[in-house]
Structure 1
Amino acid sequence: MRALIIGRWQPFHNGHLSIIKEISNEVDEIIIGIGSAQKSHSLDNPFTAGERIMMIIKSLKKYNFPYYVIPIKDIEFNAVWVSYVEALTPPFDIVYSGNALVKELFEEKGYEVRKPKLYNRTEYSGTEIRKRIINNEDWKHLIPNGVINVIDEIDGENRIKRLNMKDYDIIE
């Protein structure tokens, strides 16, 4: 059985890793969709699809289960979105999502949708991690080492801090 899970992964964190590991115990293969793949360089979506793919691959390197990482751009057309996702991904049997709209859309097309268990949602949150980066608070313990490596490689910490600046804060 093959499962699909879609997230923005901005960034991929330990909560995401726990969910993926749990799903891997229930299915044979996992399709990890990079949602909003076209978005980057904003405070809510600071990382590119390619950077998020690197984060996931480096984080899952030591685990032995088959997975695919597929970028999925937003199309803003809910009635055909499931068909769009199906066209981009290998076939799948089950969908994991905690998003009510995603659940509704996939169930309308006959898919079983399971809600993944969320882990320590107050800390394991992309919003919380980005906030901690901006405020120079501890955040590295919330993400896998592979993600730390990618963020370091792309100078992601400074990118997030720059994205938080107002135009008048930027020094030329």
Structure 2
Amino acid sequence: MAKRVLMPGRFQPFHNGHYHALRSLLEEYEEVVLAVGSAQEGFTCQNPFTAGERLEMIDIFLKHEGLRGRVWLIPVPDIRMPLAWTTHVLSMAPKVEAVASGNPHVLYIYKWAGLKTIELKLHEPSRYNGSRIRSLMLEGGEWRSLVPGVIAEYIEAVDGVERVRKVCSSGVY
């Protein structure tokens, strides 16, 4: 069995901070399982991209970087029960040795459940975070440099900036 780690996130969108974390995990693990959370969400201000779009944008990025064979992508819908969520995610993923996250709540729950946890050192978290990137899209700011180039191209191809503007101005959160 491959030495594998789980990294859950919403990836709304996948950004350079995610890439930095992924690269650091791939230095220690043979494979990383990216659990794309809130998979049932899309076309809302907090979750403008659908699970399918997020899987596709990340897959395009992985192919571009030559990482496709080392990263698993799994969509995971929310179940709104934090303790049950841990096993829910694990039931949808291939077997992992550890769970990595920059979110203390996620780490606490998995540690409580008895799993090995890895606290990710977030790379410039005030700069690289989905909320900030979506805010920049909404306000017409410069967001492209905060995501890998192929991700920016994908977002533009699906008219993602306009979608963020529409769903965030419509009051759909």
TM-score of the aligned structures, taking structure 2 as reference length: 0.91
Q: Which structure has the bigger radius of gyration?
A: 1
Alignment of 1:13-52 (within 5 A): 13-52=15-54
Unpaired runs of 5+ residues, structure 2, are none
Q: Deviation string for 1:57-100 (max 9, x for gaps)?
A: 12222234511000011111223222211210100001101223
Amino acid at match of 1:17: Y
Alignment of 1:148-167 (within 5 A): 148-166=152-170
- Alpha-carbon distance between aligned partners in 2 of 1:55 and 1:120, rounded to the nearest angstrom: 22
Q: Give 1:96's aligned residue.
A: 100
Amino acid at match of 1:15: G
- Alpha-carbon distance between aligned partners in 2 of 1:163 and 1:79, rounded to the nearest angstrom: 31
Q: Deviation string for 1:5-32 (max 9, x for gaps)?
A: 0000000001111100110001011100
| 1:47 Cα deviation after fit | 0.3
Choose from 134, 142, 166 the match for 2:146: 142
Q: Give 1:9's aligned residue.
A: 11
Amino acid at match of 2:66: Y
**CA RMSD between the two structures:** 1.4
| 1:110 Cα deviation after fit | 1.9
Equivalent position SS for 1:68: strand
- How many residues are paired up? 167
TM-score of the aligned structures, taking structure 1 as reference length: 0.91
Alignment of 1:55-74 (within 5 A): 55-61=57-63, 62-64=65-67, 66-74=70-78
Equivalent position SS for 1:25: helix
Equivalent position SS for 2:86: helix
- Alpha-carbon distance between aligned partners in 2 of 1:29 and 1:98, rounded to the nearest angstrom: 18
- Alpha-carbon distance between aligned partners in 1 of 2:11 and 2:50, rounded to the nearest angstrom: 10
| 1:135 Cα deviation after fit | 1.1
Alignment of 1:107-146 (within 5 A): 107-146=111-150
- Alpha-carbon distance between aligned partners in 1 of 2:139 and 2:52, rounded to the nearest angstrom: 26
| 1:101 Cα deviation after fit | 2.6
Unpaired runs of 5+ residues, structure 1, are 168-172
**Runs ≥4 in structure 1, deviation > 6 angstroms?**
none
Equivalent position SS for 1:123: coil
